[in-house]
Amino acid sequence: MNSSRVSFETQVLPHLDATYRFARWLARSPEDAQDLVQEAMLRAYRGFDALRGSDAKAWLLTIVRNCHATALKQQRRRAQVPLPEEHDALDGQALISKALGPQEESIRRDQTLTLERLIERLPEDYREVLILREIEDMDYRAIAEITQVPLGTVMSRLARARSALRQQWLRHVEGEPRAVR
């Protein structure tokens, strides 16, 4: 056995567990961590002659970090995002579709149409401040400039518009037919 290999085994291999733990924190899966450790150990072995009396553990963990950064850059270039593992606490929920199902989509569409009808029933003064604030996300001063009314009037019209809309919505909901039990 050559002396370089013996030195590598005595100085670097005792830190293999620490290397894996660090790689596991950097990578999202145990398999990726193993790949990261393998790549780092290969680089460490190839560049072991460059280690001159410094801390082998810190040197090795730096290589792991650099391997991880390189892997991330390559992954971004390929524009691939690996699917999370189902049991992954951080990203496991990504496997569940966020899209609404047909029933939820229908309910949302009906609610949107109802809301639009109820807004249309509001007096024009109320409707315009409500639309400018809630849909166009404008601040009160801008609404006052657009409608050419004082700031206090904008605030009171908005409060009245919200109240009227709430009352109309409640009347609409109470008037809906209920399922028979």
Residue 135 Cα to chain centre, angstroms: 24
pTM: 0.44
pLDDT (mean) for 60-69? 88
The fold of the 102-175 domain, in CATH, is: Arc Repressor Mutant, subunit A (1.10.10)
**The pLDDT value given to residue 87:** 65
Res. 95 pLDDT band, cuts 50 70 90 = low
- pLDDT(51) > 60: yes
More confident residue, 34 or 86: 34
Which range among 12-26, 30-44, 68-82, 134-148 shows the weakest confidence by mean pLDDT?
68-82
Is residue 30 within 8 A of residue 87, CB to CB? The reply is no
CATH class of the region 3-95: mainly alpha
Number of C-beta neighbours around residue 109 at 10 A? 11
Judge whether 3-95 and 102-175 match in fold. Answer: no
In terms of residues, how long is the chain?
181
Q: Domain ranges for the chain, please list them.
A: 3-95, 102-175
Tens digits of per-residue pLDDT, 143-167?
A: 998 889 999 999 999 999 999 999 9
- At 112, the pLDDT band (50, 70, 90 cuts) reads confident
> What is d(CA 24, CA 22) in angstroms, rounded to the nearest whole number?
5
Asked if 53 and 46 count as a contact pair (C-beta separation under 8 A), the reply is: no
Question: Could you tell me if 46 and 60 are in contact, meaning their C-beta atoms sit under 8 angstroms apart?
Answer: no
Region 172-181 average pLDDT? 66
Helix (H, G, I), strand (E, B) or coil at 91: coil
